[in-house]
Structure 1
Amino acid sequence: MLFIIASQISVAAQENVLVERQITLMGSMFNITVVDRDSTVANHNIDRCIDEITRIENLISEWQPQTQISEVNRNAGIKPVKVDREVFELTERAISYSKMSEGAFDISIVALDKIWKFDGSMTEMPSEESIKNSVRNVNYQFIKLDRDSSTIFLQQKGMKIGFGSIGKGYAADKGREILQKLGVKSGIVNASGDIATWGTQPNGKPWAIGIRNPFKNHKISKILKLKHGAVATSGSYEKYAEIDGVRYSHIIDPKTGYPATGLTSVTIYGWSAEFANALSTSIMVLGKEKGKKLALQYPQYRYLFITDQGKIIR
């Protein structure tokens, strides 16, 4: 849904070089682009960025058994687990996103029963009872944090938490941060669509990020011109179920167990990729009216919605 629109750059005519690398991290495709003084230095700095993102994955992945989040999940309903301050504060922010969205965002959604299929095979709705039961272990209010001891406790057995939503946005923000500390003047960390940018292209122009319109092939809804910025899109344009003419998003309402409907995509852009993702995910669940009210509470962030009927709201 988001893609980089690079200007035609004559590298030989520029003081700096643009180096890009694509790599799989956190189970997703990352594209790391830096503008640096030469390709050797650029590749060294990209290596450092990859090291940082790998470090984050080894802290917060719920799929790797050795991580602190996996330890928290194993001890659900049993005991609190001490975690690094970084993990604690990321969880604390995630709970604040749940509160701001009245539960539309919830990192405990990973405990959801998988009763929905988004591979085109679903032809009828699951039963109301199975939908209701599917969220029995989902509730951010049962995530208890103790700041003094830096512990996380999931009060209910069967609960889990995971950062599949904001984790890549956080990694993009941290990747940008470390590259800036290394003295890289400009670049992009694209964490599978959660994008953090800084500086400019070698020709001095801002980075151009295109937002595709899923209803019109090869059409762009908007081009964002970013220097220091971030953008994230949540949507149902790739993974959804269509039943009786209604499109059901793969993004599930944590309170009801029903997929989001009404919006095909939500793009948020501002300063932080982590927050942009939290806001876009929340708005997909809340829908157009409530989502717009939430977005307007954060005027430093801008939005672009595309409804299930293809209408663009900005």
Structure 2
Amino acid sequence: MLKKFLAKFGKGAATVDLQFENRPYQIGEVVQGEVVIKGGEVDQQINQLAVQFMMTVRAKNGQSVSREVERIPLNGSFVISKKEEKRIPFNYRIPQALPLSRGPVSYYFDTHLDIEGGVDRTDIDYITIGASKEIQSIFHALSRLGFREKSTSGKLDQYGQEFEFFPTQLFADKVHELEIRFAYVEEGVKVWMEVECRSGYGKIEAKREFVLTKEIVENEDKLVSSFEKYIAEAVQQPELYKQPFTYPTYQPHHKGSMASGIGSMVGGLAMGVLGGMVLNELMDNLGVDEMLEDAAEAIGLDEENFDLAGMDFGDFFDEN
């Protein structure tokens, strides 16, 4: 009798543990594992077993918000006997339009064991979501051209996720930075690339919008040549590339639909998960980073050695 009483308060109760290979996963990849439930000191009625896939977005001022990407029900009502061990298979495909794990964006699984008349048990497991094979190939091609991803890369806005790079070799004296977005299309990968060209004492922005076919994406040399060509054209005649980007239009869907977001644009699902109001508030806070970067450049600090995350600005940017 005492054991049943204590189990209601969690002592000697059943436990839950989600187990899967601890490694970075690509968007679109399937996470395979199992949920291990171990019975406690008494038999217990379980109402439900489910896993929530959660996304957290953090601003530089410390503000963060977590939202459910998807709820994965695994089992309905059942009894877990004293000292019994149950193993339930777990499979989850990571949505392709999710933002990648970067400084402001992280993910975790929240496994929830709903115990009848007792304290529910949970298990938190963090997971890193990296670029798909196609996007990894693009990042590698940019690296071969001497571009390095900035520490503040990966910001979110109403269109999706933006990746920022700075030059170290070939284009170091001609380009200030690249800002790039991607979307998966039938032909391959669509790219929106903004090139900040150096011009005298100022900058000129050139906007390039193009599709990299599957053949190009799968051939590293062709991929490098393509980016070198598009960037060189922008640098040589930036005034020819001033037209605004033609981003897809956001179409909201019902809650839980993996179609929420902007087509298959990388990070497009953030709008559907976070909601426009929350995303706009986070964008306002993330905008402080850009102010600091501009200030650093104005006083001559080297981009590669300028780390915003490690700097303490006291309460200068705190709200009153």
Length-normalised TM-score, structure 1: 0.26
Structure with the bigger RCO (C-alpha within 8 Å, sep 6+) is 1
Q: Compare CA radii of gyration and give the structure with the larger one.
A: 2
